[in-house]
Amino acid sequence: VRTTDAVWLAPGEPQEIQSDLVSRFHEEYGRPASGTWFAPGRANLNGEHIDFHAGRCLPMALAHGTYVAAAPREDGLLRLRTLDASLDDGVTTVFADQIGLRAEPGAEDALKDGAAGHWSQYVHGALWALRELGTSQPDFQVSEGFGADILVVSTLPIGGGLSSSAALECASILAFVALGTPLGQQNPLDDLNAALTREHRKQLAAACVRAEVEVVGAGTGGLDQTAAMRARAGKVLSLDCRDFSVQPLDIGCILRGYRLIAVDTGQAHRLADGQFSDRRADAEAAAQLLGFERLRDALPEKPRKADVLHVLEEFDRLAEQLESVGGRDIGACRRRLRHALTEMVRSEKLHHLLSGEAYGVRHITSTVGDILTAGHMSMRDDAEVSFTVADLVVETALAQGAEGARLIGGGFGGSVLVLIAPAGLPRLTAALERISRNIRLIDVAPSAAAHAL
Ligand code: ADP
């Protein structure tokens, strides 16, 4: 059995990454950075495509993430550069005050370089959303004429379904809080970590959602930004998207003698290209037919499989005489509905297991593994967001003795989460290397949320 370290994508040593980034910053901008901020990527144990239906999601923050070095400017310019080789096209400059005018006719010219679809939009969006938040929350009121120089580096695969985009938004917004708001001015550098309350973090996660929806134009439901901003080390965050309340749950009972690995398939996804929003529109049409604004409301407080069947029967009854649902294919709407509902039931079961309420379940790891695999089948057959390599990785993992495996993230590319005993890893890595040279493994060690370094 052959294994190589090359397949493992290490998170790197934060201090080393920071010191390298800070010296690159000096080279690029000819002055020192004022600080460095980090936000993690995430792996979701369950709860894909249901955050925008107010379902429950179970994310964990990764040790991998995005680092932002920054220094404030007084001329109102926002200058950005990324060290990611595939995205780097030099320094992008905009007038910070004019971000957010994009939607208004004729305002496009006010933005230099800030083209739609450009990575800089995530950072522009973070500043715009912070400014919006600051109008009602004095701690976050952005100083007049605020601008900044920013340099970005990430240890996450980009487009790998591990939320590099949310990590970029969240690390950037922390930099802006630190450099441009009263909260930052009263609490320099890492004092900011202590000064940020849970409520602050909740508000900042919500601001990053606005950045992505209103400036970038992607249909995020808030899972990724909540994970990056509010995760806890060693815990799964049980996130109820009805009110964005979170409950950190111990993951030790699953991981005793097992590992969670994210397998980046090397096939990058493009969320903004319409397929993701297409799936969402199908599910929303189903919700509308059922008379619910949010699909979570179609299920009782503690949903079970029988409740799902009941809602599906109701859908069939209502759809019987129809040719389409809101102009969309009925079969597709029904499958998206079934994915959303069964995914909600799986989340509820996992929450129950991890919160210790299921005292007496003897084989908790294999039960969790089965839930993961059932989640993959639902992503493949009902949400229809899986793809060949992901299906192959899941099959291979199960054949090599994994307890469970599933596609995570929005789909159409991205990563597979695998629950496996360490003894099975050498064979699994060897088998995965035969599938594709682009596959990378990431150790999922539930880590802390976004912070100043
Ligand atoms: P993911 O699953 O990684 O979040 P997305 O397609 O949602 O995939 O987001 C990836 C996009 O986020 C990139 O195309 C880029 O615009 C932006 N992005 C993420 N990380 C970086 C980075 N380190 N530097 C520049 N842009 C980044």
Compute the distance from residue 148 Cα to the ligand 1 centre, in Å: 20
What local confidence, expressed as pLDDT, does residue 219 receive? 74
Q: Is the CB of 159 under 6 A from ligand 1?
A: yes
Residues classed as catalytic: 224
Rounded to 5°, the CA angle 165-168-171 comes to: 145
- What are φ and ψ of residue 133, in 5° steps? -60, -40
User: Which pLDDT does position 271 carry in this prediction?
Assistant: 53
Looking up tokens 């950190």, which residue turns up? 248
Cβ of 87 closer than 6 Å to ligand 1, yes or no, is: yes
Instruction: Looking at the CA of residue 66, tell me the nearest atom of ligand 1.
Output: 23
Tell me, what's the pLDDT at 356? 80
Query: Helix or strand or coil: residue 147?
Result: strand
First-to-last alpha carbon distance for the chain, in angstroms, is 40
pLDDT at 273: 63
In this prediction the pTM is 0.94
**Per-residue pLDDT, 2:** 44
The amino acid sitting at 106 is: G
C-beta 168 within 6 A of ligand 1: yes
Neighbours of 440 (CB within 10 A): 18
What SS3 state is found at 48? coil
Q: List the beta bridge partners of residue 331.
A: none
Q: What angle do CA 155, 417, 53 make, to 5 degrees?
A: 95
Return the ligand 1 atom nearest residue 410 CA. Answer: 2
Give residue 218's pLDDT. 78
> CA-CA distance, 181 to 33, in Å (whole number)?
17
Q: What is the pLDDT of residue 362?
A: 65
CA distance 240 to 325: 28
Helices 330-354 and 275-290, axial angle in degrees (round to 10): 90
- The helix or strand, by DSSP H or E, that contains position 440, with its residue range, turns out to be strand 440-443
Q: Evaluate: CB of 158 within 6 angstroms of ligand 1.
A: yes
Mean pLDDT by runs of 10 across the 453 residues of the chain is 68 97 98 98 97 97 98 95 95 87 46 65 96 97 96 95 96 98 89 95 97 86 96 97 96 88 89 76 96 97 96 97 93 98 97 79 86 98 96 97 96 95 95 92 97 96
Q: Determine the pLDDT at residue 6.
A: 64
pLDDT value at position 274? 75
Distance 158 CA to ligand 1 centre (A): 5
Tell me how far apart the alpha carbons of residues 340 and 25 are, in angstroms, rounded to a whole number: 44
* pLDDT given for residue 357 in this prediction: 65
**Pairing between strand 259-264 and 245-250?**
unpaired
Q: What pLDDT is attached to residue 112?
A: 33
How much is the pLDDT for 310? 98
For strand 235-240 and strand 35-44, is the pairing parallel, antiparallel, or unpaired?
unpaired
Compute CA distances 302 → 53, 236, 291, 346, 396, whole Å. Answer: 16, 19, 20, 11, 34
Residues 6+ apart with CB under 8 A from 191: none
Q: Specify the residue with its C-alpha closest to ligand 1, atom 18.
A: 165
Residue with CA at minimum distance from ligand 1 atom 6? 159
Helix (H, G, I), strand (E, B) or coil at 437: coil
pLDDT of res. 55: 97
Q: How many CA atoms lie within 13 A of 292 on its CB side?
A: 20
